[in-house]
Amino acid sequence: MSESKKCLVCDSNVEPFVSFGKMPIANGFLREDEFSKESFYDLAVGVCVGCKMVQLTELIDPSKLFHENYAYFSSTSQGMRKHFQAFALEALNQTTERSDRFVLEIGSNDGIMLRNIAEAGVRHLGVEPSENVAKAAIASGIQTRCCFFDSKSASQIRAEHGPADLILGANVICHIPDLHSLIQGVCTLLNKNGLFIFEEPYLGDIVNRTSYDQFYDEHFYYFSIQSLSELLNSYGLHIVNAQAQEVHGGSMRYTVCWAGDKTEAPALHSLKSREDQLGLDSLVKLNELKDRIEKSRDDLRSLLETLKGEGKRVVGYGATSKSTIVTNYGNIGPELVEYISDTTPTKQGKFNPGTHIPIMPYESFTANYPDYALLFAWNHREEIVEKEQHFLSQGGRFITFVPTVGIVD
């Protein structure tokens, strides 16, 4: 791990506005015999005084995060499967009807999005560096290349497959510290009239909802339309549309093409004005966010302590990477949260990073309902509440902390 307080986009200074102290790797769920070798880094977020890009102040080598034991399998959520089906088909409909169309996805994980492109019979390739999830995609018949997407791999892909009519990405562009190499790769591959459509957690929603658990190692950048526009424009690319999405606690889907290929959607202008009002690049506004984050942390701890004092059982719902930040920043361990229930087999039987709360299969939850379920997967709240009607009818209650701490009615 190397310290970086210079902007990785433009080399100006990054002004930190919130610091979380030492954090473990957010997706680093571990066994008991691994506790002693757990590694920590300083988690702080800042804004670049030059290009206004919000980013982490410390860089972790991507190969430490994305590898053969990557914990996140995208297809575990049914809601996300539906979301990506609609995304893929909508994007495909916007491309030319060229018979030999080629669709590339950056960060294709277990194939949650590309399976829809494959099923439509369209030539495709996923680029996915985490070997275990890439293998799952390959096993279900999705063409996948196991490597990091960058300018170099893009040139190789171009030589082997030709230009791409559609380049897709979701929750991955913000993971890539070297944005210049990424965009150069996109430029190498994007066909004339081609589209680059990607969707990422949106800084506007983090600010509005105080969803500070989006700040963690894998999310190196926190994009706004304005900060991305400037960067893409410098490569002759242009954002022509931005569409707000509810997934992952508030995301933005950007449609990008070669400058001059298409006209801007009218909605773009008002979304940019809203960013000015929110002050997404203003240190004053970002410092106010910091104050709300500290209050959220304190409120959650005191609610959990109160419930403990009343002898209530609280378990976590969803061992998300986001929960690593909430538990470590709030110093919440097994004394306050008995275990975390999660449906992902590779997380079960392990412990959460840092505060070492056990991760248990979902069956433990249904076999013996707790009094309260702390909704770490708050971004899947609708899907979960719908599924947990029996828990609720037995008197169980959900606790949330976004946008503020409280018990869900």
Question: Could you tell me which stretch among 3-11, 62-70, 120-128, 242-250 binds Zn ion (CB under 5 A)?
Answer: 3-11
End-to-end Cα, the chain, rounded Å = 43
Kindly identify the residues of this chain, within the stretch 165-184, that bind ligand SAH according to CB under 6 A: 170-172, 175-176
In terms of DSSP bridges, do strands 144-145 and 221-222 run parallel, antiparallel, or are they unpaired?
Answer: unpaired
> To the nearest whole angstrom, how small is the minimum distance from the Cβ of residue 372 to ligand TYD?
16
Distance CA 23, CA 43 (A): 6
Kindly identify the residues of this chain, within the stretch 211-250, that bind ligand TYD according to CB under 6 A: none
Name which of 67 and 98 has its Cβ closer to ligand SAH: 67
Which one among 23, 106, 206, 268 touches ligand SAH, defined by CB under 6 A? 106
Name which of 57 and 321 has its Cβ closer to ligand TYD: 321
> To the nearest whole angstrom, how small is the minimum distance from the Cβ of residue 309 to ligand TYD?
28
Q: Which residue has the tokens 């984050």?
A: 293
Q: Which residue has the tokens 């339309």?
A: 225
58, 42 Cβ separation under 8 angstroms: yes
> To the nearest whole angstrom, how small is the minimum distance from the Cβ of residue 211 to ligand TYD?
11
Question: Could you tell me which stretch among 42-50, 92-100, 164-172, 375-383 binds ligand SAH (CB under 6 A)?
Answer: 164-172
Distance CA 388, CA 341 (A): 13
Name which of 9 and 325 has its Cβ closer to Zn ion: 9
184 binds, among Zn ion, ligand TYD, ligand SAH, none (CB under 5 to 8 A by kind): none
Kindly identify the residues of this chain, within the stretch 308-337, that bind ligand TYD according to CB under 6 A: 318-322
Name which of 84 and 102 has its Cβ closer to ligand TYD: 84
Site map 35..54 versus Zn ion, x via CB under 5 A: -------------x-xx---
> To the nearest whole angstrom, how small is the minimum distance from the Cβ of residue 204 to ligand TYD?
19
Distance CA 235, CA 233 (A): 5
Which one among 48, 91, 128, 275 touches ligand SAH, defined by CB under 6 A? 128
Name which of 62 and 358 has its Cβ closer to ligand SAH: 62
Distance CA 302, CA 290 (A): 19
Question: Could you tell me which stretch among 104-112, 262-270, 284-292, 312-320 binds ligand SAH (CB under 6 A)?
Answer: 104-112
Q: Does 9 bind Zn ion (CB under 5 A)?
A: yes
Ramachandran assignment for 21, one of left (phi > 0), alpha (psi -120 to 50 degrees), beta (any other): left
Q: Judge if the upstream peptide bond of residue 403 is cis by omega within 30 degrees of 0.
A: yes
Kindly identify the residues of this chain, within the stretch 63-102, that bind ligand SAH according to CB under 6 A: 66, 70, 72, 74
Q: Which residue has the tokens 């995301």?
A: 251
Q: Does 52 bind ligand TYD (CB under 6 A)?
A: no
SS3 4: coil
- List the beta strands (DSSP E) in 107-263: 123-127, 144-145, 164-170, 190-201, 221-222, 237-245, 251-258
One-letter amino acid at 268 equals L
Sequence-distant (6+) residues with CB within 8 A of 368 are none
> To the nearest whole angstrom, how small is the minimum distance from the Cβ of residue 48 to Zn ion?
3
- Burial of residue 276 (CB within 10 Å: 0-12, 13-18, 19+) is exposed
* Binding-site ranges for ligand TYD (CB under 6 A): 72, 76-77, 318-322, 342-344, 347, 362, 377, 379-380, 383-384, 387
